[in-house]
Amino acid sequence: MVYEFCQWLQDTSFSTAIRESEIVFPCIEGTHLLGIGVSAGTIAFSDLRLLGVMMKREPASKVLAALLPFTIAGFAVVFSTGLLLFISEPAKSYHNYWFWLKLSFMALAGLNALIFHTTVYRRMAQWDLDAITPLGARLAGVFSLIFWALVIWLGRQFAYNH
């Protein structure tokens, strides 16, 4: 049933227009890549602060709060352009295991963020200025860096390996 939906979506005029446009598809893809730079870059800075690698003298709350609007904006761009890229070739996406791996690691990255924000983040006032962040914060940072790096790498594999 999912494949039938993907095939139907691919056969729509909207999907065809994106896929066959010499301007629209490259603009969406380029915007997607720029959004990845903003989103992944700010996530990496946040994670590196949690790991105590950079900005050690700044309160973690200040660093995360300053980066969060850019992370959300970048992710909104990545999500919306990624959806348009999917709409342009849903049947190809359905049959590509790189795509499914990418979605799996995106889900893991989201779960990691959810766990962080519902546990150790809620106690940030207790460790905000500590030179060494709690183990939970450091683990969240490590897993975030790994998961998002894999999402980006798998996205490239998906784009170039049909």
- Domain assignments of the chain as residue spans, ordered by start: 2-160
CB–CB of 142/51 below 8 Å?
yes
CA nearest neighbour of 39 among 82, 5, 10, 7: 82
Cα-to-chain-centroid distance, residue 120: 21
pLDDT by residue for the chain (162 residues), tens only, comes to: 999 999 999 999 999 999 999 999 999 999 999 999 999 999 999 999 999 999 888 999 999 999 999 999 999 999 999 999 999 999 999 999 999 999 999 999 999 999 999 999 999 999 998 878 999 999 999 999 999 999 999 999 998 876
Query: What pTM, to 2 d.p., does this model score?
Result: 0.90
* Tokens found for residue 112: 């990691």
In one letter, which amino acid is 119? Answer: T
What is the C-alpha to C-alpha distance for residues 50 and 60, in angstroms, rounded to an integer?
7
Are 60 and 128 contacting, i.e. CB atoms less than 8 angstroms apart?
yes
